Structure 1
Amino acid sequence: MGVKIFSHVNYLWDEKIALELGDDQVALFLYRSNILGADLRVTNYGGGNTSCKTIEKDPLTNEEAEVMWIKGSGGDIGTLTKAGIAGLYTERLRNLKNVYGGLADEDRMVGLFNHCIYDLDSKAPSIDTPLHGLLPFKHIDHLHPDALIAVAAAKDSEKVTKEIWGDTMGWVPWQRPGFDLGLQLEKCLNDNPGIRGIVLGSHGLFTWGDTSYECYINSLEVIETASEYIEKKIKEQGTVFGGQKVKSLSIDERKEKASQLMPLLRGLCSSEARMIGHFSDTEIVMEYINSNDLERLAPMGTSCPDHFLRTKIQPLVLDMDTSEDVTNTEAVLKKLNPAFDQYRKEYREYYENCKKNNSPAIRDANPVIILYPGVGMFSFAKNKQTARVASEFYINAINVMRGAEAITEYTSLPRQEAFDIEYWLLEEAKLQRQPKEKPLSRKVALITGAGGGIGKAIADKLAAEGANVVLADIAEDSLLKAFNTYSADIASYTVCDVTKTESIIDAYKHACLEFGGVDIVVHSAGLAISKPLEETTERDWDILQNVLVKGQFELAKQAVSILRKQKLGGDIIHIASKNGLVSGPNNIAYGTAKAAQQHMTRLLAAELGKDKIRVNTVNPDGVIVGSKIWEGDWAEGRAKAYGITVEELPTHYAKRNLLNEIIYPADIANGVFSLVAILDKSTGNTINVDGGMPNAFLR
């Protein structure tokens, strides 16, 4: 088979890979799912569903039985594996028609899916299971392509569907996913034999095929046809969204303004629970938020359930001019506070007007999507991935509105229909099944010196406990190497010279753009110089003061301006040293700088307590293995001071502490974690992580 040419979707089928999978229909179904999910124009993250049917041997009767394999509840087809699918007896699933009691019986039916399980290792079957099971085809795709949802959400959608595909596509009006929708799809097929797919009003697309490849090609061809139709309509129309109303700032200006504004938005969005942010200013976003039609379209809300479940039914549009000085916190809050209050009020009214006797309690009333014409789109959610995906879903919704407006006119779901999806008991049950959040979830940590050694160990620990981490270091090569050990939804990096104020400011701007703000600042950047007094130069003195002391001062000063905007409190942790407490030989410049760091902690703690900003110190000692400062002259200087060889240093340091333990970077990271996650009523404190050095005891 030759490579197919498409303009609006990516043809990703690799025949070599398919041949290696042979006749394993489940493997081919998973392969098809993954390549469909790799193209956001085909389906959005976590959206849609795919399935295949195979003949298997019933372990109880030893007879052959048809089994349907389908994406399980909460999965994503782009990353789907065997562990994420459910296997059900098709006949048993179809026999549920005999006990189905109508629309009021939908939730009970979901529980009955478990009685149809063939594979005991199955993921929980999703609500889409009967939609696939009641259709006879071997391979089925249920997708949410922007182009198809645009057709589905357009006024006169059924008529438009017939205009595009004639009698080759069926159409079913909007209905909440469930067993009855499966019956409607079955009826549509029976009434229109020979169709290649079905458009679901306001929802998405069903397509199928006898083989995985035929199903894949059918899906792409249907999406391509819809995309071409919309492209033609847009060209005929000449403009989209009524043309431009607001002119965009330049890219640099947008990012500057966004970085200044995000901590304020984050603080407001976190009035009920702390949130992580994401910023987008892509071409399609700017086209929409700068348009004349934004004021009309934004309040209408999104049409596809997959969209508004992640974005809320509508965004908050900021009534702010691009020329406004967003560094003037007091003036900006005078506009933002009423806007947020009004949004929360309207969301609560939406809940009260639509709720039923058994509806779950109202959820966070803050916006998820915030639009600033001329600047960009902000999204806030419980973690970076969720915030990013919410942004992607709203971009999907923009594409849908763009297409539907070009076709005829965009229509959205009635508020009651939207509420019934958002507060569906089955959706609530899915939320309740989510794993417990980690101790540092929803927090952002900026760590200096994170390219290796103690800084990297701290970043590893905080990330493992749920935090988003911003790695800062002067050495870009080390930073890149460190960053590549994380996923992009967990970490980011920025080159930062802590001796330069502008570099520190830029690091914080980066953290704000990437994650919305900052909650934890760890100053781990450092160097060590061990020389007797007469050999210590002015340069030695200055560099230690600049990196350790001045850098710490500027990091705290710039952090506090952000933390005060957020009004969420925060943690500042300084990695100092036992040498700031103990008078050791050949250590005048380093020991003095470390002592200054420690006293600065106390001064800052006294000043910032009223802001719920806690400032503490971790004092390491003898961290030789894995520590960057021992890679240079420091090790030789310390060995010389103690009259031993460099190779003898780890043993020497271990023997001199009370526990006779070697101290590792991970031990220092544990000290930091205890201060930011456990000792939440401690400030101005010092934790010694040195194995027990009596001469460094604080009391």
Structure 2
Amino acid sequence: MTTQTSKETFRHVSYLWDDAKAAELADNQVDLFIYRSNLLGADLRLTNYGGGNTSVKITDKDPLTGEDVEVMWIKGSGGDIGTLTKSGCAALYMDRLLNLEKVYRGLEFEDEMVALFNHCIFDLNSKAPSIDTPLHGFLPFKHIDHLHPDAAIAIAAAKDGQRITEELFGGEVGWVGWQRPGFDLGLKLRECLEQAEAKGIRLRGIMLGSHGLFTWGDTSYESYVNTLEVIERCAEYLEANYGGPSHGKNRPVFGGTQRSVESPESRREQAAHIMPILRGLCSSESVRRSGPMVGHFTDDERVLEFINSRDLDRLAPLGTSCPDHFLRTKISPLVLNIPSDLDVNHPENREILASLNPQFEEYRTMYQAYYNACKHPNSPAMRDPNPVVILWPGVGMFTFAKDKTTARLASEYYINAVNVMKGAEAVSEYTALPRQEAFNIEYWLLEEAKLQRMPKPKALSGRVALITGSAGGIGKAIARKFAEEGAVVVLNDINEERLADAKDEFVKKFGRDAVATTSLNVTDAESIKQAFDAACLAFGGVDIVVNNAGISISKPIEEHTLADWDKLYDILVKGQFVVTQAAVSVMRKQGFGGDVINIVSKNALVSGPNNAGYGSAKAAQLHLSRLNAAELGADKIRVNVVNPDAVIADSNIWAGGWAEGRAKAYGITVEELPAYYAKRTLLGESILPDDIANACFAFVGGLLKKSTGNVLNVDGGVAMAFVR
């Protein structure tokens, strides 16, 4: 295949087609369709994660008759074209799909058609067909792309979008006004095509009002290029109008800048300090049911241009237009009315921060009124009335959702919505989805059914965990256990190389949204502050803090130096105190409690030789835990202790002379230590990092949520360490 197009042809979209790769797939049209889909989904200017749909119609053998039949392969429900694989597709008999028109009873009965799609399945391994299936089915083209490009939606959401579309493409791109996706919209697309053909016009695409774009081609490549060309032309048209004539007058983007912008460093510091407060307010409805919300922050230039503009107050309440945007960002954002240079942590500003409560309450009241005004007799119960998108002029945008991925995607979708508003305002006037139509999408029974099918949240879903010294050993095992149970984790260490390796491991296993990393030296108050700021900026706050970082020094009293003593107490005792102090500050801002777990030791309770500094520091850690538990109960912050013993695997402690010191104290060799430790326990067991991790999970997993000030020994049974 020789292409006539190259990446140099486009400035506003990414041309990613590789002739050599496509040639390898040329004999399999389904594989080529998936390749095309992945390329389109790789450019967020074309469609968001999970948005849009693509399809191909091929001839295949009917497995029952052996006869040739036409089959449509299409992205299945809930999939993403950027990461689409064959297992994420639905394959349907075309004749059966088209025959559904004979039983279609009209708009009032739209939803019943979705169940009938299953009667059209060709490949029994198919994903559930999506609501877009008839939109592709009733168009006769072999290859179809349905995307939500910012540039196209900007025109589709403009007040006179239909006129602009007709003039821009000379009638070669049709127009179908806003209608909720479904069977009837598929018929409308076909009608639009037939009306154009009756006039002798060969359409290359159809614009859906407030929604998106349909384009097609005779081959996968022709469809790909046609899609890019149509979007490129839309983008060029918008670019020519930015800052130029609009509404008959010269007008800068979003009416120009109205507010000053804080410096990047100041924006991030402000965001880190306010995010726990916002997270607490956003989690007011969810924290008891499914866990608190997880946050995401961005100060992307596109966001700053919008939130600092003169048009913010006019445009933000309108909400989004494209249903895919709206479903993830809610009816409209909350715009904070507080100064961008506010010192969030200064006591004198408490009164200003207290104004956030009525601002959130006003939003909830608005959402309740929206629900009451638009609900139908069979509508699902009102969902969480808190905002998903929060805009702080001068600082940036915050999004909160049930998990980090959903929060990040909401942010990406709202940036797309900003792009749409910018484009629509440049060429005409932005029009949002009418409130009733928006409600019908948000509370669509099919969407509700999809939500009900989602798996039950894991025990730690929505929880943010920071475990000190978590790049290896016990700390990494705890972080891994918490991530497996649904938490997002903040890995940290003083060893940057070790930390980088741990991050790679966690990203590979849990995904990039499940983990953040930061340097942390528990003897340095500034390092601790920066680590908690990083946690707040990454996820919105902290719910679980595990004081795990440690060191051990085993020497006879006459060999124990003051430097040894200070090092032990700085890391173990002062470190635990200052980290807990920082954690409490964040947890109090959130207002829904939390957990502090201190990894102490059997040595806090058991006296032994050559252990004066380490053993006494561990005893101090243990009693400090009791003191903190007594003080923090009123804040619903639980403080508990896990006492390990002789956890040798992957532990830094054993690399610093401790093993030699303990072996000398017991009169054995270092090699004999593991067996010695196991033999002296009541259960005769060696203790592993995973055993400590399981104990920590026992405290935070929900079953012990009314317990604080407890000590859980994980030492195989050492009678002298029994708490009494």
Where on the TM-score scale, by shorter chain, does this alignment land: which range? over 0.9
Cα deviation, residue 632, structure 1: 2.5
Paired residue for 2:231, among 223, 228, 231? 223
2:529 aligned with 1:505:
yes
Q: Match of 1:535, SS? A: coil
2:137 aligned with 1:112:
no
Q: Is the 8 A contact 2:344 2:353 kept in 1?
A: no
Determine the C-alpha separation between the residues in 1 that align with 2:472 and 2:326.
42
Alignment-mate amino acid for residue 20 of structure 1: E
Determine the C-alpha separation between the residues in 2 that align with 1:263 and 1:582.
40
Cα deviation, residue 631, structure 1: 2.1
Instruction: Report how many residues are paired.
Output: 699
Alignment-mate amino acid for residue 112 of structure 1: L
Paired residue for 2:602, among 578, 585, 589? 578
Cα deviation, residue 235, structure 1: 4.5
1:64-143 matches, within 5 Å, as 64-143=68-147
Give TM-score scaled by structure 2 length.
0.95
Alignment-mate amino acid for residue 204 of structure 1: G
Q: Match of 1:484, SS? A: helix
Residue 25 of structure 1 corresponds to 29
Residue 289 of structure 2 corresponds to none
Determine the C-alpha separation between the residues in 2 that align with 1:200 and 1:676.
49
Determine the C-alpha separation between the residues in 1 that align with 2:657 and 2:419.
59
1:438-517 matches, within 5 Å, as 438-485=458-505, 486=507, 487-517=511-541
Residue 341 of structure 1 corresponds to 361
Q: Match of 1:616, SS? A: strand
Residue 325 of structure 2 corresponds to 307
Determine the C-alpha separation between the residues in 2 that align with 1:164 and 1:649.
80
1:119-268 matches, within 5 Å, as 119-193=123-197, 194-237=202-245, 239-268=252-281
Cα deviation, residue 213, structure 1: 1.3
Q: Is the 8 A contact 1:626 1:664 kept in 2?
A: no
Q: CA RMSD for the aligned pairs?
A: 1.0
Paired residue for 1:4, among 1, 7, 24? 7
Q: Match of 2:451, SS? A: helix
Determine the C-alpha separation between the residues in 1 that align with 2:723 and 2:221.
71
Paired residue for 2:562, among 538, 541, 550? 538
Determine the C-alpha separation between the residues in 1 that align with 2:668 and 2:71.
72
Q: Match of 1:192, SS? A: helix
Greater shift, 280-289 or 187-196, is seen at 187-196
Residue 248 of structure 2 corresponds to none
Alignment-mate amino acid for residue 648 of structure 1: E
Deviation track 1:183-228 (CA, whole Å, cap 9, x = no partner) reads: 0001111112321111000000001112211111111111111000
Determine the C-alpha separation between the residues in 1 that align with 2:26 and 2:160.
44
Deviation track 1:29-55 (CA, whole Å, cap 9, x = no partner) reads: 111111111110010111111111111
Determine the C-alpha separation between the residues in 1 that align with 2:212 and 2:670.
67
Deviation track 1:59-103 (CA, whole Å, cap 9, x = no partner) reads: 121111111111111111111111111111111000001010110
Residue 682 of structure 1 corresponds to 707
Alignment-mate amino acid for residue 269 of structure 1: C
Q: Match of 1:392, SS? A: helix
Residue 353 of structure 1 corresponds to 373
Alignment-mate amino acid for residue 460 of structure 1: R
Q: Is the 8 A contact 1:625 1:650 kept in 2?
A: no
Determine the C-alpha separation between the residues in 1 that align with 2:17 and 2:721.
65
Deviation track 1:385-441 (CA, whole Å, cap 9, x = no partner) reads: 000000000000000000000011100111001000100000101111111111000
Deviation track 1:447-505 (CA, whole Å, cap 9, x = no partner) reads: 11011111111110101100010012111111111111222200001001100111111
Greater shift, 432-441 or 234-243, is seen at 234-243
Q: Is the 8 A contact 2:7 2:14 kept in 1?
A: no
Determine the C-alpha separation between the residues in 2 that align with 1:236 and 1:260.
39
Q: Share of identical aligned residues, percent?
A: 65
Determine the C-alpha separation between the residues in 2 that align with 1:587 and 1:323.
51
Residue 614 of structure 1 corresponds to 638
Cα deviation, residue 16, structure 1: 2.1
Q: Is the 8 A contact 2:243 2:253 kept in 1?
A: no
Residue 716 of structure 2 corresponds to 691
Residue 432 of structure 2 corresponds to 412
Alignment-mate amino acid for residue 595 of structure 2: D
Deviation track 1:580-636 (CA, whole Å, cap 9, x = no partner) reads: 111111111111111111111100000001111000011111111222211221111
Q: Match of 1:52, SS? A: strand
- Stretches of structure 1 that go unaligned for 5 or more consecutive residues are none
Cα deviation, residue 334, structure 1: 2.3
Deviation track 1:656-690 (CA, whole Å, cap 9, x = no partner) reads: 11221111111111111111113211110111111
Alignment-mate amino acid for residue 282 of structure 2: C
Residue 617 of structure 2 corresponds to 593
Residue 332 of structure 1 corresponds to 352
Greater shift, 678-687 or 540-549, is seen at 678-687
Greater shift, 238-247 or 401-410, is seen at 238-247
Alignment-mate amino acid for residue 298 of structure 1: A
Alignment-mate amino acid for residue 285 of structure 1: V
Determine the C-alpha separation between the residues in 2 that align with 1:218 and 1:661.
67
Determine the C-alpha separation between the residues in 2 that align with 1:187 and 1:588.
87
Q: Match of 2:643, SS? A: strand
Give TM-score scaled by structure 1 length.
0.99
Determine the C-alpha separation between the residues in 2 that align with 1:316 and 1:262.
14
2:283 aligned with 1:270:
yes
Alignment-mate amino acid for residue 566 of structure 2: D
